[in-house]
Amino acid sequence: MTTPVAAAFIYSPELAGHVLREDHPLRPHRLRLAYDLLAAYGVFEQPGALLAVPRPATTEELLPVHSAEYIEAVRLLNRGDEHVNAARYNFNALGDNPPYPGMFEAALLSTGASLLAADLVMSGDVRIAFNASGGLHHAMRDRASGFCVFNDPAVAIAHLVARGQRVAYVDVDAHHGDGVQAAFYGSDQVLTISIHESGRYLFPGSGEVRESGESAGRGHSVNLPLLPYTDDDTYMWAFEATVPPLLEAFAPQVLVLQLGVDAHYLDPLAHLQLTTRAYSVILPRLLGLASKVVALGGGGYDIAAVARVWALEYGWMLGIDLPDEIPEAYQDTYGVKALRDPQPPQFDPSVIDRNLTYAEAQVTAIKATVFPFHGL
Binding region for Zn ion (CB under 5 A): 173-175, 260, 262, 299
For residue 260, report the phi and psi dihedrals to the nearest 5 degrees: -55, 145
- In terms of Cα–Cα distance, which of 294, 31, 331, 68 is closest to 165? 294
CB-nearer residue toward Zn ion: 111 or 145: 145
**Distance (Å, rounded) from C-alpha 116 to C-alpha 294?**
10
CB-nearer residue toward Zn ion: 179 or 260: 260
Question: Least distance from C-beta 299 to Zn ion, angstroms?
Answer: 3
Question: Least distance from C-beta 34 to Zn ion, angstroms?
Answer: 16
Residue 72's alpha-carbon distances to 26, 138, 269, in angstroms, are 24, 19, 31
Question: Least distance from C-beta 201 to Zn ion, angstroms?
Answer: 13
Question: Least distance from C-beta 346 to Zn ion, angstroms?
Answer: 25
Quote the distance between the C-alpha of residue 61 and its chain's center: 20
CB-nearer residue toward Zn ion: 101 or 205: 205
**Distance (Å, rounded) from C-alpha 238 to C-alpha 242?**
6
CB-nearer residue toward Zn ion: 41 or 150: 150
CB-nearer residue toward Zn ion: 70 or 301: 301
Helix (H, G, I), strand (E, B) or coil at 5: coil
**Distance (Å, rounded) from C-alpha 170 to C-alpha 248?**
13
Rg (CA), the chain: 19
CB-nearer residue toward Zn ion: 26 or 121: 26
Q: Is 138 a catalytic residue?
A: yes
Which amino acid would we find at residue 267? D
The DSSP code sequence of 102-124 is THHHHHHHHHHHHHHHHHHHHHT
Question: Least distance from C-beta 268 to Zn ion, angstroms?
Answer: 12
CB-nearer residue toward Zn ion: 268 or 349: 268
Question: Least distance from C-beta 91 to Zn ion, angstroms?
Answer: 19
Cβ burial 22-52 (10 Å sphere, 16+ → b, else e): eeebbbbebbbbbbbbbbbbebeebebbeeb
Q: How many CB atoms lie within 10 A of CB 124?
A: 9
Q: In sequence order, which residues have a C-beta less than 8 Å from that of residue 299 and are 6 or more positions away?
A: 26, 135, 147, 173, 174, 175, 260, 261, 262, 267, 269, 270
Q: How many CB atoms lie within 10 A of CB 228?
A: 16
Q: Which of 66, 138, 220, 271 is catalytic?
A: 138
- Residues 273/277/280/285 CA torsion (nearest 10 deg): -70
Q: Which residue is nearest to Zn ion (CB)?
A: 299
Quote the distance between the C-alpha of residue 309 and its chain's center: 12
**Distance (Å, rounded) from C-alpha 272 to C-alpha 250?**
28
Catalytic residues: 138
